[in-house]
Amino acid sequence: MDFELTEQQRLVRRTARDLAEEQFADDAFTWDNIPLENAKTLADHDMLAVSLPEEYGGAGMSALDAVLAMEGVGSVCPQTANTIHAACFGPSRAIDTFGTDEQKAEYLPPVAAGESVIAIAISEPEAGSHATSMTTSAEADGDEYVVNGRKAWVSDSDIADAFLTYVVLPDGHIGSLLVDRDTPGFTVADPDGNMAGEPQSELYFDDARVPKEKVLLSGPDAFKKQITAYNIERIGAMAKVWVAAKWTFDEALEYAQQREQFGQPIGEFQAVQHRLAEMAMRLKTSRLLIYEALADDELPSRIDSSLAKVYVSEACQEVVDDALQIKGAAGYVGDTPESYIYRFVRGFQIASGTNDVHRTMIAKSLAESGYPE
């Protein structure tokens, strides 16, 4: 089995890193949310919508290529790497996979140009990991749906132009609508900052009127299809986590080689050496799980998505924690990148379904199908 990247894939990662060093290094870790101006720079160099189709402004490459671009950019500025995730995974990928030609033509080109962000709205105050208990509903009224309900903890809400919104449709099945920000009856609340300082909002639907052509998925199998597409969003999110953790590892490794105590670099002490070794093993295993889930053109399976989600989010949290321990006060005191990354990475044991729920899903899959070969 060949685990080697192709030369083209290595070029994607190298080109992305070179661009980031030239354009983004000076402003790294100064952003409160997705740095849209950096997204436009990436788009100008065909490094933003890496995996979206060329006909809609993307580069027409694979999801793995998008992760490699994230790695290259993230080695300099992890927050800018998140713009690639926003363009290539989540709602954009769902629209590319399931959308009509008209929906793709409307929503994907602005995303590919770095001019637009589409957020996803699933969770509700009483329906978090148990998404199927959602109550936000849509009733048919002529050529429109009238939507009522409430969504919570919606990321990118402050900058999103549209929201891929999961709702209960008139047939009783959960489907999804593309809700534009200026939709009558739709309100985006002022955002609250999460622990990492990133804005998240509640959404309110008060007889919001959404044209029926904005339906992305409907019918008995709509929710299953949506979750299948969301599996790749989870893998993309874990790539964000890995990128951030790898940045802290690189910084800790360099610091250990330069920082001297007791007459020698701290990297010569076995306790620090063992931390670095463990960090490298966790990062290596995490990246293999991400790469394996994206190895072919199919959407990741449920169990591959859950395995990666649980392991990567927890292993990378340990990497960041060890990096902080190695840097000591230099990483802990003040508004440091390590402080931000520590809080940022921690959120992904909660987001995209809690790790507790995913462990249950893994166990159920094992009981039904055995070990995933």
Q: Would strands 162-168 and 118-121 be described as parallel, antiparallel, or unpaired?
A: parallel
How far is the C-alpha of 29 from the C-alpha of 202, rounded, in Å? Answer: 26
**Nearest alpha-carbon partner for 299 in 234, 370, 222:** 234
DSSP at 310: H
pTM above 0.85, yes or no: yes
- DSSP, collapsed to helix, strand or coil, labels residue 294 as coil
What is the residue-level pLDDT of the chain in tens, covering all 373 positions?
A: 567 889 999 999 999 999 999 999 999 998 877 899 999 999 999 999 999 999 999 999 999 999 999 999 999 999 999 999 999 998 999 999 999 999 999 999 999 999 999 999 999 999 888 888 999 999 999 999 999 999 999 999 999 999 999 999 999 999 999 999 999 999 999 999 899 889 999 999 999 999 999 999 999 999 989 888 888 889 999 999 999 999 999 999 999 999 999 999 999 999 999 999 999 999 999 999 999 999 876 778 889 999 999 999 999 999 999 999 999 999 999 999 999 999 999 999 999 889 999 999 999 999 999 998 8
Cβ proximity of 242 and 287 under 8 Å = yes
16 is written with which tokens?
A: 């992305």
How far is the C-alpha of 36 from the C-alpha of 115, rounded, in Å? Answer: 7
Cβ proximity of 19 and 185 under 8 Å = no
DSSP at 124: B
What number of H helices and E strands is found in the chain? 12, 11
How far is the C-alpha of 186 from the C-alpha of 188, rounded, in Å? Answer: 7
**Nearest alpha-carbon partner for 121 in 221, 173, 189, 36:** 189
Q: HSE on the CB side for 298, CA within 13 Å?
A: 7
How far is the C-alpha of 108 from the C-alpha of 56, rounded, in Å? Answer: 6
The residues with which 200 forms a beta bridge, in sequence order, are 155, 192
DSSP at 334: S
- DSSP, collapsed to helix, strand or coil, labels residue 173 as coil
Domains of the chain (ranges, CATH numbers): 7-112 (1.10.540.10), 118-218 (2.40.110.10), 223-369 (1.20.140.10)
How far is the C-alpha of 205 from the C-alpha of 210, rounded, in Å? Answer: 10
Residues sharing a CB contact under 8 Å with residue 309, sequence separation 6 or more, in sequence order: 234, 235, 237, 238, 348, 352, 353, 355, 358
pLDDT at 254: 98
pLDDT at 352: 87
The DSSP string of 165-199 is EEEE-TTSSEEEEEEETT-TTEEEPPPEE-TTS-E
Cβ proximity of 33 and 159 under 8 Å = yes
Look at phi and psi of residue 209 and say left if phi exceeds 0, alpha if psi is from -120 to 50, else beta.
beta
How far is the C-alpha of 9 from the C-alpha of 233, rounded, in Å? Answer: 21
pLDDT at 241: 98
How far is the C-alpha of 307 from the C-alpha of 32, rounded, in Å? Answer: 30
